[in-house]
């Protein structure tokens, strides 16, 4: 064992750092966080004792006990321990927890930080150690305590009062509210249209595209104008040329990296951060959680040297961008490559794409502006006082566009023209254009909005977006849009106007974040009863409070008390909330066959239809909400059609009935005990021929899936990740050296016996088997005496 023990967060980071330190250093990893707030204490006091200055009890995570044992052994042997966890608040908190668990003095133990994993940065950090920054630790504790209190006290209220509600979070709830408010804007959008006129001319054999600056409100106006062009002559009345420049953007912060990776690479926020983490741990980029736009002097000099060498002196322009974020506490520098000249950052194609984006953006920020020449040609019409405009752009000097930001579409380049030149009209068209509703958020645009509002911080954006999708409060859209009719009018010289109706897609939501029905209900519930939790300004103010704690300007407990007291009062009053009013049933109309009322309402899995009253002797029947319909808009005809299911489509060759229906996961057919998805077919319209085709394909898949069936429930199957053995309750992997088709019954039983027991995952896994107490009592009880595993240590702050 070496004299020096360095503890970092990840094994990958440990390997990289160990290369740069000599044989006197051993580098080990904590593998992330090692302790969490306990869920239960030995003496029965609350893990977060609100009445005792928010005194908090922590416990070592079960899966980290082995890691802690190894670290303790190494700590006893080492002469000097160095804590080298990440330089943000989370990293500082991990360093403090390591001190607590390993018996180190946080006021004396050496703490080193670096924003890039290079030999120079590591050596410099070792030369300049500090101790654990307790103000940063307290800022992290404040966030963790607040989030735990909100989750433990508010979530039970959600379970009791909102059908299908899973949880509510301090930061995820405002994010859901943003999605819901945007969706309501889209739903309430009143469409309008105008007619846009474009024309194509020729001049000296070259094509000139032009557009009429004005739009027409009616088809008649557009047709009248096109009629006037049939016998018109056209000439150039003015040519205006003006120089222009385009400047590069700043190097990436966490937020702008997530936005640009989403826009240019279609990476989600979580995938972007995962990829960036790998690049950082391998020493390819600087620390990836940062609010800062600045670059170090060394990085600027390295970029300038590379740019001059690769492109020429005229392409280099040194810049230092000012950080917009007032907090900018997550790190000291923007995200950049550690080696500006290295074009390859990873052998992984996915990670390489992100590396290339980061490198190009960094280089572009230190390059000269692009110089452009913009030209506008005004074209007069002999039969009208209106004029066409042709616009073109020429890149005189590409500057930073050499490496970043050049558009996919080349700009229109106009032929040389002078005042008085005549042009020949080839054709002119008027196309109906519709006003667009507000766009749904993508992951990138939601990150941008959260940042603008001051909600969350670089380390939390990806988690927020992932959580709201995991909780089913929002989902990624898959729709390609619906077709609509578009009127087009066209004219050529000497001919009449031709009218045509074409189709175009509208309302596509593929890749966009769409709030679910339950997400909308949760948001409405919180807005009405817990406005503090979803208030954008209040949430941003809390983030600013964390920043103040990090600088020592605000005491942790003062901030926690300011938030908790009014919040807890709302929780105590939650028992008075009427669940029936949260998810009210909306009468749709009467079923003409039975005379029963049909209602639209929320159920456990979202919106649905109910035929009959719950109070009547005869139990009501239910049907899923028709696709595209909402509780407030579904019509009686749509509801009656929904209750036509399940529908008997026909029979198989064996005489088994085929039923079509819609379930929780979409449309399907059922044959005996076999359920087969029929997406995108409609169960109301699917034919027997289509159903038999889908059924046959499923039988073929099932046959290929079954390698062996021993008759007692034990089977050898082909799975998504390869062949495996199952008895329906337990699965066992098959070694690669073993041929699945040669496995005997006895071998299969032995493999199942040796396989580990299946684990129940998920915070809500047991909810269906436990009865919930009343909301008011639950809320208070959950906050004071939650249940879980044993605590190890109590820390007073």
Which positions are annotated as active-site residues?
Answer: 287
Query: Which H or E run contains 83?
Result: strand 80-83
Going by the DSSP 8-state scheme, the letter that residue 45 receives in this structure is: -
Query: CA–CA separation, 762 vs 797, rounded Å?
Result: 31
Cβ–Cβ < 8 Å for 83, 111: yes
Query: CA–CA separation, 380 vs 421, rounded Å?
Result: 11
Query: CA–CA separation, 593 vs 67, rounded Å?
Result: 67
Strands (E), 445-516: 474-476, 482-491, 498-506, 513-515
Nearest to 624 by CA among 563, 654, 665: 665
- For residue 690, give both structure tokens: 């289509």
- Which residues make beta-bridge pairs with 49? 55
Place of tokens 């052994």: 73
- For residue 358, give both structure tokens: 């980061």
- For residue 64, give both structure tokens: 């980290």
CA 189 to chain centre: 25
- For residue 139, give both structure tokens: 């800022």
Residue 347: C-alpha distances to residues 11, 264, 276, 332, 403 (Å): 19, 20, 14, 28, 21
CA 645-630-614 angle, 5° bins: 60
Query: CA–CA separation, 680 vs 354, rounded Å?
Result: 35
The reply to whether omega before 646 is within 30° of 0 (cis) is yes
CA 374 to chain centre: 38
- For residue 706, give both structure tokens: 């079954």
> b vs e for 658-667, b when ≥16 Cβ sit within 10 Å of the residue's Cβ?
bbbbbeeeeb
Cβ–Cβ < 8 Å for 101, 35: yes
How would DSSP label each residue in 304-350?
Answer: HHHHHHHT-GGGB----PPP--S---S-SS-B-BSSTT-----SSHH
Nearest to 141 by CA among 55, 214, 73: 55
Query: CA–CA separation, 577 vs 567, rounded Å?
Result: 16
CB atoms inside a 10 Å sphere around CB 189: 12
Sheet containing strand 674-677, strands side by side: 647-651, 657-663, 666-671, 674-677
Burial of 46 (0-12, 13-18, 19+ CB in 10 A): buried
SS3 259: helix
How would DSSP label each residue in 104-156?
Answer: --TTTSEE---SS-SHHHHHHHHHS-B---HHHHHHHHHHHHHHHHHHHHHHH
CA-only gyration radius of the chain, Å: 33
Going by the DSSP 8-state scheme, the letter that residue 480 receives in this structure is: -
φ/ψ region of 770 (left if φ > 0, alpha if ψ in -120 to 50, else beta) reads beta
Q: What is the widest separation between alpha-carbon atoms in the chain?
A: 96
- For residue 551, give both structure tokens: 């600088």
């Amino acid at each position: 064992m070496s004299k020096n023990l360095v503890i970092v967060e990840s094994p990958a980071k440990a390997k990289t750092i160990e290369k740069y330190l000599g044989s006197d250093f051993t580098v080990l990893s904590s593998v992330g966080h090692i302790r969490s707030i306990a869920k239960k204490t030995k003496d029965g006091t609350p893990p977060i004792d609100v009445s005792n200055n928010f005194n908090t009890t922590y416990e070592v995570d079960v899966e980290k006990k082995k890691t802690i044992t190894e670290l303790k052994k190494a700590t006893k042997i080492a002469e000097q321990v160095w804590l080298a966890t990440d330089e943000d608040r989370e990293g500082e908190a991990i360093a403090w927890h390591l001190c607590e668990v390993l018996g180190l003095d946080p006021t004396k133990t050496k703490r080193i930080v670096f924003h890039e994993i290079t030999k120079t940065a590591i050596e410099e950090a070792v030369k300049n150690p500090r101790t654990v920054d307790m103000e940063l630790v307290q800022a992290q504790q404040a966030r963790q305590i607040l989030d735990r209190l909100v989750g433990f006290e508010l979530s039970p209220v959600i379970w009791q009062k909102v059908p299908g509600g899973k949880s509510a979070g301090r930061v995820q709830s405002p994010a859901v509210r943003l999605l819901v408010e945007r969706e309501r804007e889209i739903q309430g959008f009143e469409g309008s249209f105008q007619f846009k006129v474009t024309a194509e001319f020729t001049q000296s054999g070259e094509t000139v595209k032009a557009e009429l600056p004005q739009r027409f409100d009616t088809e008649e106006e557009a047709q009248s104008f096109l009629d006037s062009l049939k016998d018109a002559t056209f000439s150039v009345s003015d040519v205006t040329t003006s120089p222009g420049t385009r400047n590069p953007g700043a190097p990436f912060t966490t937020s702008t990296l997530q936005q640009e990776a989403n826009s240019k690479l279609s990476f989600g926020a979580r995938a972007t951060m995962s990829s960036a983490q790998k690049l950082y741990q391998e020493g390819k980029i600087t620390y990836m959680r940062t609010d800062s736009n600045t670059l170090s002097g060394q990085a600027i000099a390295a970029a300038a040297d590379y740019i001059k060498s690769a492109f020429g002196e005229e392409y280099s322009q040194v810049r230092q961008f000012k950080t917009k974020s007032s907090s900018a506490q997550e790190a000291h520098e923007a995200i950049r490559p550690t080696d500006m000249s290295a074009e390859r950052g990873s052998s992984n194609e996915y990670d390489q794409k992100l590396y290339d984006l980061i490198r190009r953006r960094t280089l572009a920020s230190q390059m000269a502006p692009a110089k452009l020449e913009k030209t506008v040609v005004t074209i007069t019409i002999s039969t009208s006082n209106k004029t066409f405009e042709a616009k073109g752009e020429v890149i005189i000097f590409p500057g930073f566009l050499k490496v970043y930001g050049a558009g996919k579409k080349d700009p229109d380049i106009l032929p040389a023209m002078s005042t008085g030149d005549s042009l020949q009209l080839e054709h002119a068209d008027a196309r109906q254009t519709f006003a667009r509703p507000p766009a749904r958020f993508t992951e990138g645009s939601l990150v941008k909005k959260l940042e603008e509002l001051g909600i969350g911080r670089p380390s939390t954006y990806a988690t927020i977006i992932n959580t709201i999708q995991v909780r089913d409060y929002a989902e990624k859209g898959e729709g390609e849009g619906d077709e609509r009719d578009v009127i087009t009018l066209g004219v050529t010289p000497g001919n009449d106007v031709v009218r045509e109706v074409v189709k175009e897609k509208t309302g596509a939501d593929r890749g966009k974040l769409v709030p679910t029905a339950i997400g909308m209900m949760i948001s409405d519930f919180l807005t009405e009863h817990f406005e503090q939790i979803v208030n954008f300004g209040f949430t941003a103010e809390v983030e600013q409070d964390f920043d103040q704690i990090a600088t020592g300007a605000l005491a942790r407990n003062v901030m926690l008390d300011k938030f908790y007291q009014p919040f807890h009062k709302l929780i105590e009053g939650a028992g008075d909330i009427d669940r029936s009013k949260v998810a009210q049933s909306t009468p749709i109309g009467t079923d003409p066959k039975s005379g029963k009322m049909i209602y639209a309402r929320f159920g456990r899995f979202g919106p649905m239809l109910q035929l009959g009253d719950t109070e009547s002797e005869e139990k009501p029947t239910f049907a899923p909400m028709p696709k595209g319909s909402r509780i407030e808009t579904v019509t009686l005809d749509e509801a009656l059609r929904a209750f036509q299911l399940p529908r008997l489509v026909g029979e198989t060759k064996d005489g088994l009935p085929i039923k079509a229906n819609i379930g929780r996961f979409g449309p399907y057919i059922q044959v005996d005990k076999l359920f087969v998805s029929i997406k995108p077919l409609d169960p109301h319209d699917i034919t027997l021929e289509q159903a038999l085709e889908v059924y046959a394909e499923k039988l073929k898949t099932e046959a290929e899936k079954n390698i062996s069936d021993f008759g007692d429930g034990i089977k050898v199957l082909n799975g998504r990740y390869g062949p495996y053995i199952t008895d329906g309750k337990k699965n066992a992997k098959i070694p690669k050296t073993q041929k699945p088709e040669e496995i005997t019954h006895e071998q299969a039983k032995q493999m199942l016996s040796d396989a580990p027991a299946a684990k129940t995952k998920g915070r809500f896994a047991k909810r269906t088997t436990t009865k919930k107490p009343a909301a008011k009592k639950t809320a208070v009880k959950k906050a004071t005496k939650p249940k879980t595993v044993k605590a190890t240590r109590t820390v007073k702050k």
